[in-house]
Copies of this chain bind each other. A is one copy, B any other.
Amino acid sequence: MNPRDTLREVGEFGLISRIARIVGRPGERVSLGIGDDCAVVQGSAGQLLITTDMMVEGIHFRLDWYEGSQLGHKALAASLSDVAAMGGVPRYALISIALREALPVSLIEEIYRGMVALSKHFQVELVGGDTVRSPDVVVLDVVVVGEAPRHPRQRSQAREGHLLMVTGSLGGSAAGLQLLEQGTSPHDHRWTELIKRHLQPWPRVREGRELASLSGVGAMIDISDGLVRECHHLAAASEVAVEIWADHLPLHPAAAELARQWNADPLRWALFGGEEYELLVTGTPSFARQAERLLARHNVPITTIGRVLRGSGVRVRKEDGSIEPIPPVGWEHFR
């Protein structure tokens, strides 16, 4: 193969056979993988989770920022994160992808390699999809089918008296995005960690499953649209108010450092930055203690960042103790 071959040269069926080689032999739960009308997979006697996430070039990503494998990783991570947020176990993935004919096949293969690497990590089977031409923008849409836990975690399950907790750290992805938007090279070694946090976020699949199994757990949701927006989703669906404690937010250390250098406010990244794929979860105080112990075993932090109250909407308690309501808007509207 010529590494500069484009999709126009190999054609759809040439591409599909290359993809099938990258994906490899399916496991025993898969009766029929890539290449027929449908994938045929083992069902589940319990409940299934189904989710799909679409990424569009120019809206969700720029091709010149991403290595192919990072793009494939991120497209799959978005759907895995949705399954994680229900506390489920992802099982099968399908990827639909619309491609310009002038794209090098090697880039497309890299997209699939990134997806396969992440799917193997979580023992998810890549069982099919669709490859089509696009006149213009590249579009990826990833479906994940998984097994539901006995009680799937929903955004409507936050209750008055619950604490609000978040896994990992916040603001790293938004800081990485801002670096890229200001022209920083994706390979700039000073900020590798932040940029990678944006380009290749890790879905909290194991953590979601374990948190969902604890007693006293309430609502769970992944932070793809930013902390404030997700809190609004919880508040509206659960008919409660959510209070975020600004001085408790677990800022990503490198984002905090970048904010110092730029004399910027890292709190805005933490509150409004999306594509973080951390889990936001509510639960009783006893749940919060168990959750900390459980995730500490895996060296994953989980931090109490607020509480659930009677009422509606989202408010932030600032460092000086003042409380300010925040509408469900992007950070440009936040004073």
Instruction: List residues of chain A with CB under 8 Å of any chain B CB.
Output: 31-32, 35-60, 81-83, 85-86, 88, 92, 94, 96-98, 127-130, 132-137, 139, 141, 143, 145-148, 152, 154-156, 221-222, 237
Q: A37-B82, A82-B38, A143-B143 are in contact. Are A54 and B132 (CB under 8 A)?
A: yes
CB distance from A63 to the nearest CB of B (A): 13
Pair A45/B47 contact, Cβ less than 8 Å: no
Main secondary structure of the interface of A (DSSP, over half): strand
Contact partners of A37 in chain B: CB under 8 A: 51, 81-83, 85-86, 155, 221-222
CB distance from A203 to the nearest CB of B (A): 11
Contact partners of A54 in chain B: CB under 8 A: 96-98, 130, 132, 139, 141
Pair B128/A50 contact, Cβ less than 8 Å: yes
Q: A36-B155, A132-B60, A141-B96 are in contact. Are A41 and B47 (CB under 8 A)?
A: yes
Task: For A153, give the chain B residue with the smallest CB separation.
Answer: B37
CB distance from A31 to the nearest CB of B (A): 6
A-B contact pairs, 7 of them (CB 8 A): A38-B85, A39-B50, A43-B43, A52-B130, A54-B97, A54-B98, A56-B133
Pair B31/A152 contact, Cβ less than 8 Å: yes
Q: How many copies does the complex hold?
A: 2
Q: Which of A42, A46, A58 has the most CB of B within 10 A?
A: A42
Task: For A51, give the chain B residue with the smallest CB separation.
Answer: B38
Q: A31-B47, A54-B98, A154-B32 are in contact. Are A59 and B132 (CB under 8 A)?
A: yes
Contact partners of A136 in chain B: CB under 8 A: 58, 136-137
Pair B50/A92 contact, Cβ less than 8 Å: yes
Pair A38/B88 contact, Cβ less than 8 Å: yes
Pair A47/B42 contact, Cβ less than 8 Å: yes
Knowing that A38-B85, A43-B46, A59-B132 are A-B contacts, what are 17 other residue pairs whose CB atoms are under 8 Å apart, sorted by A's residue number?
A36-B237, A37-B86, A40-B148, A41-B50, A42-B48, A43-B43, A43-B45, A43-B47, A43-B48, A44-B44, A50-B128, A54-B97, A54-B130, A54-B141, A56-B132, A59-B134, A143-B143
- Inter-chain CA distance A230–B152, complex, in Å, is 41
Pair B50/A147 contact, Cβ less than 8 Å: no
Contact partners of A141 in chain B: CB under 8 A: 52, 54, 96, 130, 139, 141
CB distance from A113 to the nearest CB of B (A): 20
7 A-B pairs with the lowest CB-CB distances in the bound complex, closest first: A43-B44, A38-B49, A37-B82, A38-B51, A58-B135, A54-B96, A141-B141
CB-contact partner of A56 in B50, B139, B147, under 8 A: B139
Contact partners of A31 in chain B: CB under 8 A: 47, 148, 152
Pair B45/A40 contact, Cβ less than 8 Å: no
Q: A36-B86, A59-B132, A152-B40 are in contact. Are A139 and B52 (CB under 8 A)?
A: no
Pair B40/A49 contact, Cβ less than 8 Å: yes
Pair B41/A135 contact, Cβ less than 8 Å: no
- Inter-chain CA distance A145–B329, complex, in Å, is 35
CB distance from A134 to the nearest CB of B (A): 5
